[in-house]
């Protein structure tokens, strides 16, 4: 059976997209024994920096040799250099002794040079530019239970490639006014893009927002409860306007602001391995159980 492919998107930056991909991916693989591929599509390379040790990161990004950028380069330049088995790191993160902590968690790393890919796709002016990623990864869909795309904070060409390659979009958000305002803009942009795709010809599903996740939740700040209420009512309004899927949940629980999650990035570990008893580890495990009810 083909993987369930999900893009984690938000035009707003710093809302927990990468943290969700890394931690949900790790829990699906470690606790629920799923085969998971994380595809890092952000030139910032946050999930690659998080899950790889510095040596591995340099190996995979230096001279742009072993990253997902090659997949895009092939499509743009007509090359055949993308070798999934060479580029995907099978079993991340790696322990100090050199063994994979989670053998069934795989990573297709990003490269900062993906910034150039955006320009190249634009200059190339090919009408089906948004199919590149799906066409490159299609042969590997049946090797995984889940493919999770960590997207940059925009709706440019690379994000559109992720959406086309996905059945679902999940929107991580933080409970504040500007983030909530951004969800409506995002839902409209997503609808504009998906309605421009000829699904009959492409055979791909019409991707919609299938869930939201609240991150960076501070339970001691009264206003946060109000913002979460606003998010839920915004979700209902967007469902009425058919801008998001009618069954889309706000996954529970909200992920609390937690120092251990932030600290786990520089330890190159998902929080369940870094501090298994921290609030962030507990929240992400419960959230992943909720995720499994829907996906
Ligand atoms: N639950 C949490 N508690 C505390 N810090 C967190 C939590 N989740 C993420 N962070 C930190 O917040 C910052 C933003 O998180 P993250 O990188 O996941 O967001 P993002 O949406 O992927 O950002 P970008 O749009 O830049 O890709 C990071 O420094 C991360 O370490
Ligand atoms: Mg990110």
Summarize the confidence of residues 234-255 as an average pLDDT.
94
Structure-block tokens of residue 81: 């250099």
Domain extent listing, the chain: 4-294
Summarize the confidence of residues 4-16 as an average pLDDT.
97
| CA of 15, closest atom in ligand 1 | 21
- Tell me what pLDDT residue 96 has: 78
Give the N- to C-terminal CA distance of the chain in Å, as an integer.
14
Summarize the confidence of residues 183-205 as an average pLDDT.
92
Among protein residues, the one whose CA lies closest to atom 10 of ligand 1: 262
Percent of the chain with pLDDT over 70: 100
Average pLDDT value over all residues in the chain: 95
Tell whether the model's pLDDT for residue 222 goes beyond 90. Answer: no
Going by pLDDT thresholds of 50, 70 and 90, the confidence category of residue 95 is confident
- Tell me what pLDDT residue 199 has: 82
C-beta of 208 in contact with ligand 1 (< 6 A): no
170 by DSSP, 3-state: which? Answer: strand
- Tell me what pLDDT residue 69 has: 96
Q: Contact at 8 Å (CB) between 69 and 108?
A: no
| CA of 256, closest atom in ligand 1 | 1
Measured in Å, residue 66 CA sits from the centre of ligand 1 at 25
Tell whether the model's pLDDT for residue 259 goes beyond 90. Answer: yes
Helix (H) or strand (E) holding 54: helix 54-61
Summarize the confidence of residues 176-199 as an average pLDDT.
92
C-beta of 16 in contact with ligand 1 (< 6 A): yes
Cα(44)–Cα(118) distance, rounded to whole angstroms? 13
Summarize the confidence of residues 81-105 as an average pLDDT.
93
Going by pLDDT thresholds of 50, 70 and 90, the confidence category of residue 64 is low
Q: Contact at 8 Å (CB) between 50 and 92?
A: no
Q: Which of 40, 120, 109 is nearest to 72 (CA)?
A: 120
C-beta of 179 in contact with ligand 1 (< 6 A): no
3 by DSSP, 3-state: which? Answer: coil
- Tell me what pLDDT residue 65 has: 81
Q: Note the pLDDT tens digit of each residue in 106-137.
A: 999 999 999 999 999 999 989 999 999 999 99
Tell whether the model's pLDDT for residue 180 goes beyond 90. Answer: no
Q: Is the pTM of this model over 0.85?
A: yes
Percent of the chain with pLDDT over 90: 85
Summarize the confidence of residues 6-22 as an average pLDDT.
97
- Tell me what pLDDT residue 97 has: 80
Which residue from 262, 264, 266 has its CB within 8 A of the most atoms of ligand 1, so it is best to mutate?
262
**At a CB cut-off of 8 Å and minimum separation 6, what does 167 contact?**
4, 5, 6, 205, 207, 210
| DSSP letter, residue 159 | H
| DSSP letter, residue 80 | -
C-beta of 173 in contact with ligand 1 (< 6 A): no
Class of domain 4-294 (CATH, top level): alpha beta
- Tell me what pLDDT residue 61 has: 86
Cα(21)–Cα(169) distance, rounded to whole angstroms? 12
Which residue from 18, 114, 170, 280 has its CB within 8 A of the most atoms of ligand 1, so it is best to mutate?
18
Q: Where are the beta strands (DSSP E) in the chain?
A: 4-8, 36-40, 89-90, 105-108, 146-150, 168-173, 208-214
Ligand nearest to the CA of 47: 2
Crossing angle of helices 222-240 and 177-196, rounded to 10°: 20
Instruction: Write the DSSP string, 27-51.
Output: HHHHTT---EEEEE--TT-HHHHHH
21 by DSSP, 3-state: which? Answer: helix
C-beta of 66 in contact with ligand 1 (< 6 A): no
Tell whether the model's pLDDT for residue 85 goes beyond 90. Answer: yes
- CA-to-CA dists, residue 2 to 5, 54, 169, angstroms: 9, 32, 17
| CA of 21, closest atom in ligand 1 | 18
- Tell me what pLDDT residue 164 has: 97
**Which of 189-203, 233-247, 279-293 shows the highest mean pLDDT?**
279-293
CA geometry: angle 8, 11, 15, nearest 5 deg:
65
Among protein residues, the one whose CA lies closest to atom 15 of ligand 1: 16
């Amino acid at each position: 059976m083909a993987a369930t492919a999900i893009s984690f998107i938000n035009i707003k930056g710093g809302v927990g997209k990468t943290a969700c991909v890394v931690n949900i991916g790790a829990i699906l693989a470690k606790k629920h024994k799923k085969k998971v591929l994380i595809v890092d599509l952000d030139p910032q390379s946050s999930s690659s920096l998080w899950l790889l040790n510095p040596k591995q990161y340099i190996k995979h990004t230096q001279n742009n040799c072993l990253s997902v950028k090659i997949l895009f380069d092939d499509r743009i330049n007509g090359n055949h250099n993308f070798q999934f088995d060479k580029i995907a790191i099978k079993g991340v993160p790696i322990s100090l002794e050199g063994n994979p902590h989670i053998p069934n968690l795989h990573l297709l790393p990003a490269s900062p040079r993906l910034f150039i890919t955006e320009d190249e796709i634009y200059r190339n002016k090919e009408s089906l530019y948004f199919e590149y990623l799906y066409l490159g990864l299609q042969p590997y869909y049946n090797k995984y239970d889940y493919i999770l795309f960590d997207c940059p904070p925009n709706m440019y060409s690379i994000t559109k490639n992720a959406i086309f390659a996905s059945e679902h979009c999940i929107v991580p958000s933080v409970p504040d006014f500007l983030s909530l305002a951004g969800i409506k803009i995002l839902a409209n942009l997503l609808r504009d893009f998906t309605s421009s795709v000829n699904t009959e010809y492409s055979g791909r599903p019409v991707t919609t927002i299938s869930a939201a996740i609240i991150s960076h939740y501070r339970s001691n700040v009264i206003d946060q409860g109000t913002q979460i209420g606003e998010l839920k009512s915004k979700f209902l309004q967007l469902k009425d306007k058919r801008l998001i899927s009618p069954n889309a949940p706000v996954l529970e629980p909200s992920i609390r602001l937690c120092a251990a999650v932030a600290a786990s990035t520089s330890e190159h570990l998902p929080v369940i391995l870094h501090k298994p008893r921290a609030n962030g580890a507990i929240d992400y495990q419960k959230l992943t159980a909720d995720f499994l009810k829907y996906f």
